[in-house]
Chains A and B, each alone.
Chain A
Amino acid sequence: MKLSRTLLVLVTAASALPVVLLGWMLAEARGGLDAAAAIAVLSCLLLAASGAALVARSVTRPIAECVRGALEIARGRFGRQVQVSARNEIGDLAYTFNHMSRELASYDAENRRLIQALEQGYLDTIRSLASAIDAKDPYTRGHSHRVAALAVELGRELNLSPEALQSLEYGGVLHDIGKIGMPDAILSKATPLTDAERDLAKEHPRIGSEIVAGVAFLAAAAPAIRNHHERWDGAGYPDGLAGEAIPLVARIVNAADTWDACTSNRPYQKAYPVEEALAIVARLRGTQLDPAVHDALVAVVRKRQERKRARREAERLEREARDAAAAPAGDAETEPAPAPTAAGTRSG
């Protein structure tokens, strides 16, 4: 360190120079130095050097500490405090540094909160947009929302990045937005569609992706909208993509869409029970559905069942505990049920 070297030299020189001068004068006067005088001069020099080292350290150590703190802040770790106890200008530097650090941390937290509120606002807006399609058809009410939730769960199961989960959420909510241009007669028709009607219905993914094309924050969701009717074997629409060529988000939304169609009431079918629906999607594995996404779907469905079972169990225990508590005190036969434990109800 340059500063510490400079200080060392300066302080040592300032305090040692008089001693050296005195020693030299003594040597002149006496014609040489005896042992005691030599030792005195040497120990004075030593004292001066160690004093200088102490001064240099007391100045440079707090500065080094502040430098470390500044680097931490540069890395985005706001709120870091430096430990400097000196009551001088360097102490002031550390004190105001700590204040700055705290302020940065609070601005940062504020910004994060604002961003989150903004994103929530975006999501609410596109949800209300999606509910416009759901409202056209009583059979699909809540469909977009459920598909989005399941698609995000599938994405988590497949260990996707937060950005991918975000586009699954947006893509899931908006996957059928293209139906906004479809005649109601086609959407809610209980009988099979004619060829002309089917061709029109098949336009909805393309129309949907065109609707969101101009929206920058939905860019990552556009493939999920455009390609959510592609099939793993290449027989889907609108682009006839197959296998890995279909964007992963689209494969996931396709699986979530299919699952929701199987498990909710439609004009052309009643909702299937979970086990039957699982059998149906198992047949689609490798033909319509990406095998990996299918397996994730099965895992998610099993987890949901497990959660539901655990919740029911917890509710049952709670009810029993309540009933036992409400029962007359004279009834010694009924033992109070154990309190429901929240731990372990969520299987990892």
Chain B
Amino acid sequence: MVTDLLGELGHEVVAAENGSEAVALCVRERPAVVVLDLLMPRLSGLDALKEMRAFGYAGPAILLTAISDSSFREMEGAEAVEIRLDKPVTRRGLERALARALATR
């Protein structure tokens, strides 16, 4: 669904099935922005981001979450995330998050 939204917004998207695939794709495709879900199969969004950073990805990351702020802040590696987007994702929310992400570059 997020893939469709991103496509509609005119971005080129490579979608991954799970966390580890996302890391592999990130290394191969060198995207301008990564959009991650906090809870993904195999590898969580935070762990995936950590691995991406280790592989040299320096771009911005948007993390989609459905949990509340206080729970999120307790998580290890939460501070590494620049932009969080609450689920359910709206077209407008995503647009804004992307604008912020690209502005920080």
Seen from chain A, the residues whose Cβ lies within 8 Å of a Cβ on chain B are 87-89, 91-93, 95-96, 99, 102-103, 106
Contacts and interface: CB of A to CB of B under 8 A. Distances in A.
B66 interface: yes
A87 to B, nearest CB: 7
Q: Which of B39, B42, B70 has the most chain A CB atoms closer than 10 A to its own CB?
A: B39
Interface residues on B, range: under 10
Nearest to B18: A106
B41 A89 contact: no
B39 A99 contact: yes
A87 B68 contact: yes
A288 to B, nearest CB: 57
A96 B39 contact: yes
17 contacts: A87-B68, A88-B68, A89-B68, A89-B70, A89-B71, A91-B68, A92-B67, A95-B39, A95-B66, A95-B67, A96-B39, A96-B67, A99-B39, A102-B41, A103-B41, A103-B42, A106-B41
A contacts with B: majority SS: helix
Contacts of A89: 68, 70-71
A189 B70 CA distance: 84
Contact of B71 (A92, A102, A103, A106): A92
Nearest to B87: A95
Contacts of A93: 71
B68 A92 contact: yes
A327 B68 CA distance: 72
Interface of B: 39, 41-42, 66-68, 70-71
Contacts of B71: 89, 92-93
A85 to B, nearest CB: 12
Given A92-B71, A103-B41, A103-B42, 12 more contacts: A87-B68, A88-B68, A89-B68, A89-B70, A89-B71, A91-B67, A92-B67, A92-B68, A93-B71, A95-B39, A95-B67, A99-B39
A96 B75 CA distance: 12
B53 to A, nearest CB: 23
Contacts of A96: 39, 67
A87 B71 CA distance: 11
A291 to B, nearest CB: 55
Contacts of A92: 67-68, 71
Contacts of B67: 91-92, 95-96
A209 B95 CA distance: 71
A158 B67 CA distance: 55
Contacts of B41: 102-103, 106
Top 5 closest A-B pairs, CB basis? A92-B67, A92-B71, A99-B39, A89-B71, A92-B68
A282 to B, nearest CB: 59
Nearest to B37: A99
A102 B18 CA distance: 13
B44 to A, nearest CB: 9
Interface-centre pick from B41, B42, B68, B70 (highest chain A CB count, 10 A):
B68
Contacts of A91: 67-68
A95 B88 CA distance: 14
Contacts of B39: 95-96, 99
A106 B41 CA distance: 9
A92 B70 CA distance: 10
Nearest to B71: A92
Contacts of A87: 68
A96 B42 CA distance: 14
Nearest to A86: B68
Nearest to A93: B71
